[in-house]
Structure 1
């Protein structure tokens, strides 16, 4: 299945002209973001092109969803959490192979919540919600399994160093974060996040959470606190506050509720928050950019902060709200037949004659698509 590529004519408008730097000075620990400057911003102001990559649909590659996208050696690795399968596609979306070993055997895995590529070994590593770690090589051959001690639940993980893994648990009441040493086969430190919103403290209600609070950046590993939108540096000795996102009047007002208040009261306040501003949804960072996503009055907002100039742009809609990959020159994210209106708007703005509906109309089933956005030339 061939990839479909189209370019959009660039507007004669400088990308960063309508904003100023978001930190007050080099030593500031606050990002001040004005969410009311974006009325006229269109997606063409931010991107010069979008590559549509249909993921091949075969009897061996029937995806139920795209929960995580990994890129290795020019291939796309797509994790389908519901199916508990990791699929491999080439750069045009052609299906190649899959890691499908859910079970209880010595080389099999159970209840995978998170998947990543080890930047040091190139191995593919899978985190089980039960607190185990399953490691496979690039060819999906089993290497080893690690059982983390004293850990009954796990949600996300990342790499603190070649030896040390950071483990995040959303449901562990004792510790939120653990630093585990492969060589010493033990936890080096166990930590809790400094502050929690009442919505997190309530056992039965979760209004809004970051998709992944662990942020791996060129400057180190960080942990983001939802609702308060504060970011902490992760060290072997613990967490140290680094900076906070300040959205002015669009902040979370818990309305005086307490963690032991009735669920109905918490949910009602949660609905009021969602109508105004909830909390950060995604946070990514690389050498050039910080990409932040949030919901405001029911609309998805995407902030692209340019680190060198310390300026930013905000775009509503168009950009996927989950499973994003931030590249040096753009982003990759999923869409599917239920969100064809997104692609349709992009195609209309590009003056392209291609109709994405032709790929799904008349077909009983189809896989999601990947969208590879390229930032405008001025910013690559």
Structure 2
């Protein structure tokens, strides 16, 4: 089995990139006694530009944020529970919402993903296998039929759309990426696969506005970089003896849990975020979540820990954060934010500025309000 898998991975790497390039490989020691715990993050976060941004209430309240993107000084927030895309100004003011659930050609059954550019907003309907294209103000423009493909995610580079396929085999072949134009015509198919994982990542790709996106799907712990020139592996993470054995790759998550494998092995990378300087990778081992921050310039791990807490700022730990360009955003439900402000005990004491901001925002929102966006600048 191992020889077959190794041969397959070699072919995948060749098919993903026309040029063979050296892959940075990192070995992770995940011994709980050796890993860092919940640490401060002042060496990667700057106090300049950090802010609390309460998001104004919308007609449909935000229940569960599944994606945040920042574009044109606007915040685009997808709530997959209500199938709405909400757009806010840089100050948190509600600009408009896209709520098109239905069966018509200009509607979606399940708003799975989106990507906003300067000109357009692309909405992925996983169930109807189509993409709705809206202008920058949310007005419907056209529909792109993607019935020949299968897409769990969506990214846009230039004028090309990239359909991200985790583990399905559509009629056009088993490829992780289908590069299409705005008419739905296939331009390229990238990263073929044969082995199907029985489970997927929570957030398996990182898309940002520099002409690339990164992809890493459990249980194969290789990070791929996708650009208009193709895709290539850039980072391979080796969990050593705690990596999930290849013989278990085809088991689904229920079987892995039932047999206890989820307690003994790392099932793979759960989330990936990135910008020009860092790659953030989250994985689970045993009962704990761990984060890896990989420095892209130095090509080494900068931090490997259980979590982050900006101690000299708002002291609200980074747990469900996202990375966009040069910023880190934590989305805190209003109820959690109010409880934190009401009961937390600062250690060390907060500077007056941060304490004042926390109090003012806590007084502005109610437990039923939309979330508060907490913004930090990456160094």
Shorter-chain TM range is 0.7 to 0.9
Instruction: Give 1:32's aligned residue.
Output: 27
2:306 counterpart (313, 316, 329): 316
1:42 counterpart (40, 43, 63): 40
Once residues 252 and 125 of structure 2 are traced to their aligned partners in structure 1, the CA distance between those partners, rounded to angstroms, is: 33
2:119 counterpart (122, 143, 149): 122
TM-score by length of 1: 0.73
1:372 counterpart (365, 372, 375): 375
Is the aligned partner of 1:143 residue 2:132?
no
SS of structure 2 residue aligned to 1:273: helix
Is the aligned partner of 1:305 residue 2:305?
no
Question: Which digits, 9 at most, give the CA deviation of each residue in 1:129-175, with x for residues without a partner?
Answer: 12101011111111111112423x4210113x434322123463343
Instruction: Give 2:221's aligned residue.
Output: 229
SS of structure 2 residue aligned to 1:226: coil
SS of structure 2 residue aligned to 1:57: coil
C-alpha displacement at 1:180, in angstroms? 4.0
Residue pairs, 1:151-230, within 5 angstroms = 151=149, 153-159=150-156, 161-170=157-166, 172-174=168-170, 175-182=174-181, 185-190=184-189, 193-194=192-193, 196=195, 200-201=197-198, 206=199, 209-213=201-205, 218=210, 220-230=212-222
C-alpha displacement at 1:116, in angstroms? 0.7
SS of structure 2 residue aligned to 1:359: helix
Once residues 362 and 135 of structure 1 are traced to their aligned partners in structure 2, the CA distance between those partners, rounded to angstroms, is: 34
Q: Quick check: 1:210–1:282 contact (8 Å CA) kept in 2? A: yes
Instruction: Give 2:80's aligned residue.
Output: 81
Query: Which piece of structure 1 moves more, 172-181 or 89-98?
Result: 172-181
Instruction: Give 2:7's aligned residue.
Output: none
Instruction: Give 1:281's aligned residue.
Output: 270
C-alpha displacement at 1:301, in angstroms? 2.3
Q: Quick check: 1:300–1:321 contact (8 Å CA) kept in 2? A: no
Instruction: Give 1:295's aligned residue.
Output: 284
SS of structure 2 residue aligned to 1:158: strand
Instruction: Give 2:94's aligned residue.
Output: 95
Once residues 249 and 87 of structure 2 are traced to their aligned partners in structure 1, the CA distance between those partners, rounded to angstroms, is: 46
Q: 1:235 to 1:45 in 2, by over 3 A?
A: closer
C-alpha displacement at 1:266, in angstroms? 3.5
Question: Which digits, 9 at most, give the CA deviation of each residue in 1:186-217, with x for residues without a partner?
Answer: 224446643646xx24xxxx3x5241346568
SS of structure 2 residue aligned to 1:167: strand
Residue pairs, 1:232-243, within 5 angstroms = 232-234=224-226, 240-243=232-235
TM-score by length of 2: 0.73
Q: 1:210 to 1:272 in 2, by over 3 A?
A: same
SS of structure 1 residue aligned to 2:65: coil
Once residues 75 and 182 of structure 2 are traced to their aligned partners in structure 1, the CA distance between those partners, rounded to angstroms, is: 30
Once residues 263 and 209 of structure 2 are traced to their aligned partners in structure 1, the CA distance between those partners, rounded to angstroms, is: 29
How many residues of Structure 1 are paired with residues of Structure 2 in the alignment? 334
Is the aligned partner of 1:267 residue 2:257?
yes
Query: Which piece of structure 1 moves more, 84-93 or 330-339?
Result: 330-339
SS of structure 1 residue aligned to 2:216: strand
Instruction: Give 1:247's aligned residue.
Output: 239
Instruction: Give 2:52's aligned residue.
Output: 52
Q: Quick check: 2:28–2:238 contact (8 Å CA) kept in 1? A: yes
Is the aligned partner of 1:333 residue 2:330?
yes
Question: Which digits, 9 at most, give the CA deviation of each residue in 1:329-374, with x for residues without a partner?
Answer: x311312246547777696556153556983899451222212123
Q: Quick check: 2:144–2:182 contact (8 Å CA) kept in 1? A: no
Q: Quick check: 2:106–2:140 contact (8 Å CA) kept in 1? A: yes
Once residues 22 and 119 of structure 2 are traced to their aligned partners in structure 1, the CA distance between those partners, rounded to angstroms, is: 37
